[in-house]
Structures are given as structure tokens and as C-alpha cells.
Amino acid sequence: MAPPPGHRVLLASALGIFVLHCFTGGQKNSTLIFTKENTIRNCSCPADVQDCDYSLANLMCSCRTVLPLALEQTSYSDHLTIWFTDASALGLLLNFTLVRDLKLSLCGTNTLPTDYLAICGLKRLRVNTQAKCLSPEQSLLMLNGGEREPREQPVWFPRGWQTCMYISFLDLALFNRKSSLKAYSIENVASLANNFPYFSYFETFPILSNESYVITFIY
């Protein structure tokens, strides 16, 4: 998918900070959500837990079960870590959600479909794949999406989406690839559907205003 001509294409800080997996220290409690066997557990953890170690998470963190039907629109202004095994659970938890600092760990060996996840206001993304445990965790720092004063309003429209100006599209197939994380941003996208006529995905988007968006593709 090539960026449309006529737009300023920015390289979104392919800042490849490679942090060695499994060796991070913890500070204050952070939110960890994991999905396993059709259950969603939402945990508050005092320290980082090694990726995909479900029993350690249950031991160290204070967790509660969330019913998928009870999932509400929420936003995460701090770190959020998600351990997931399939795209649908991840979509349920994250699609059209505001998250500033996100870590995604694919637990297990599932191959993910080519599908996109739309995230609002993302500043930092880290990804890890358990099946490739020896490969380093990858991290991406966004130049936009929050360095400037974010324009998102605290008042949430249905699903919080209409007020989101920094939108990241995450290609889930990146979890299947060995290549490093890449991203590019397009600024001043006034009307998504008109600017990406060949990308039918945008047709489903509930974006209605004439505001200008900063769109980042992460793949």
C-alpha cells in the first residue's frame, strides 16, 4: 500500500530501540490485560511480568475477569500491556481505543490475519512475539500522537472516536514477519475516505468531521 501522492509523508521515527526481552524493571502498578481460553483478565501489576507467563501474572498481580460482553469503551493514559493469542480478542480490547503507551505480546504460535487495528493517540508501541522469544522486543516511538498537546477531548462520543486526531493503524500481520517494525505518518488528512479511495477499510470508519487527522501506519 503506497502513501497517496500529494501528501506530506513523514517518516515516523523508526526509532529502533531494542530492549532485551524479559529484563525490564518495574515501577508503579501497570495494567496488564490478557486473554486466555476465552477469558479476559484485567490485572494491576506492581512490576513487569515476563511475557505470557499467565500463572506468574495471576500470582503477582491483582486480576479480575472481564466478560467480553461487559467490555466498555475505555482509554489508557498510561502503560497498557496486552498478551493475546488471536486477532478477534485483540480487536475487542483495542480497536478504536485511546492508548498512549502500548505493549503487545503475541503468546502462542498463531498466525495473525491481515487485519488492521485502529488506535488513537499512540505515542509508544512495543511488540513481542513469544514464538520468536530469542528475537528482541521491538519498539517504536511516535513523533506525533501526543508530543504536541493532544486534541482529543475528555468527553467521549460513542466509542470515543470522533474526537481522535492522531490515529494509528496497526497491521496485525507484522506479528508474522521477521522484519523490523516500520511506520509512516501522513499529516493533514482532512477526509479519510476521499484521500484513500483505494483502501476500502476506511469506508467503515466512523469519522465524520472535517478536522485534519494525523494518520500513522505501522506495519
Ligand X SMILES: *[C@@H]1O[C@H](CO)[C@@H](O)[C@H](O)[C@H]1NC(C)=O
Return d(Cα 219, Cα 184) in angstroms, integer.
Answer: 9
Return d(Cα 46, Cα 217) in angstroms, integer.
Answer: 32
Q: Which residue is nearest to ligand X, using beta carbons? A: 91
Give the shortest CB-31-to-ligand X separation in angstroms: 5
Return d(Cα 156, Cα 175) in angstroms, integer.
Answer: 31
Task: Give the x/- contact pattern for ligand X in 65-104, rule: CB under 6 A.
Answer: -x----x--x------------x--xx-x-x---------
Task: Give the x/- contact pattern for ligand X in 168-207, rule: CB under 6 A.
Answer: ---------------------------------x--x---
**DSSP-derived pairing of the beta strands 166-171 and 213-218:** parallel
Contact 191, 199 (CB under 8 A): no
- Read off the amino acid at residue 60: M
Give the shortest CB-207-to-ligand X separation in angstroms: 10
Give the shortest CB-153-to-ligand X separation in angstroms: 16
* Residue 16 binds ligand X, judged by CB under 6 A: no
Contact 196, 202 (CB under 8 A): yes
Q: Which of residues 17-46 bind ligand X (CB under 6 A)?
A: 29, 31, 33, 42, 44, 46
Q: Is 197 exposed, middle or buried (0-12, 13-18, 19+ CB in 10 A)?
A: exposed
Nearest CA-CA partner of 9 in 186, 213, 183, 140: 186
Task: Give the x/- contact pattern for ligand X in 108-147, rule: CB under 6 A.
Answer: -------xxxx-----------------------------
Which positions touch ligand X (CB under 6 A)? 29, 31, 33, 42, 44, 46, 61-62, 66, 71, 74, 87, 90-91, 93, 95, 115-118, 201, 204, 208-210
